[in-house]
Amino acid sequence: MHTLTVWDKLDAFIGWLSVVAEAIYAAVTGLFRGPSGADTYHHHIIQAVVKKSYDQLYLHYCQKNGLKPHCVSNIRGLKGFWIGSPSAEYIVINFHGGGFAMDATASYLDFWPRIQKSLANAGIETAWFHCTYTLTPHAAYPTQFQEAVEALRYILEDVGRSPSQILLAGDSAGANLCLAVISHLTHPSEDVPELVINEPIKGAILMSPWVSFHHSWPSVEASEHRDIDAKDVTTKWSRAYLNGRPSNNYIEATEAPDWWWDNIKAQQTLVLAGGDEALLDPIKVWVSKFKISNPDTTLVIGDRECHVAPLIWPMFGDYHETQQERALKHWLLQRLR
């Protein structure tokens, strides 16, 4: 078991103090936010505490590391940015989590570049394209789904890469979008413009994929006091994403029958999950379905780890390497050599 040092605890305490200070400041300024501010006082405080926008974080990351920013947008609704050269051997398209409602945090620009660096040290050149899709409540399904498909279309058609050089990666809601895109390649959705590819993509990396919006799974109850996901919050997020629509196979992967996953256009899939996460049961059920026709599927469950632990724990001062991160590095090094 990893034990925090005195300095680790002090660093975490200082981090918490900064969060509290930001919350107090937001509580005061929120009273005077006016019509241009967040829709509610509560939302004003939450947004002030948890985010600079992902784009702002990226610009700060580039400045800190002496990199020239490379942002992308097009008339089809795509928005995103690059870390690495578009001519790299492999391209990873990443969709961040956050319940479709929250932007990515600085931990994403620590974690994924660290993975990228470990591959570079092994002689494997990769580039990450981070899709900054529209968040709820500004848009709902199928907007995020469409933007995710457009990210893949951009890499294929505009950048000119072949499917066998592309991986999709995402955590939680971002992994949900990965599965929506993969489904769309085999079963084109009427909600999104069709995208045809002539061979499977290299692979998919799904960290704690949000495959079910239901709370009837035993793991939801069992992990109520162990995981970061709270039922009332995820209920609000899923309702905002659906925006009155019924669910479907592109929204909740567990709703799809076994045959849906036949002839999926992905060579291999890695699924990561935490042993203490609320989504563990639906993830395991979905993997058992998916693996029937996609045997090159690896499920790794981090013992006593929470939902997206590699990205969440560093936000609270715990920087030790998780089991999920080790598994991800090992899998990529094996599959991309």
Active-site residue set:
172
Phi-psi region of 100 (alpha: psi -120 to 50; beta: other; left: phi over 0): left
Distance of CA 173 to the CA centre of its chain: 6
- Structure tokens, 15: 């981090």
The 10 Å Cβ neighbour count of residue 57 is 19
Distance of alpha carbon 171 from alpha carbon 46, whole angstroms: 21
Distance of alpha carbon 233 from alpha carbon 136, whole angstroms: 13
- Strand 79-83 and strand 126-131: the pairing is antiparallel
For 193, the 3-state DSSP assignment is coil
Distance of alpha carbon 308 from alpha carbon 178, whole angstroms: 15
Torsion of CA 211, 103, 233, 260, to 10 degrees: -10
Report the candidate in 115, 116, 110, 99 with the shortest Cα–Cα distance to residue 242: 99
- The rounded radius of gyration (Å) of the Cα atoms in the chain is 19
Q: What are phi and psi of 298, to 5 degrees?
A: -115, 125
Kindly write down the DSSP assignment for every residue of 57-107, as one continuous string: HHHHHHHHHT----EEE-TTS-EEEEES-TTSSEEEEEE--STTTS---TT
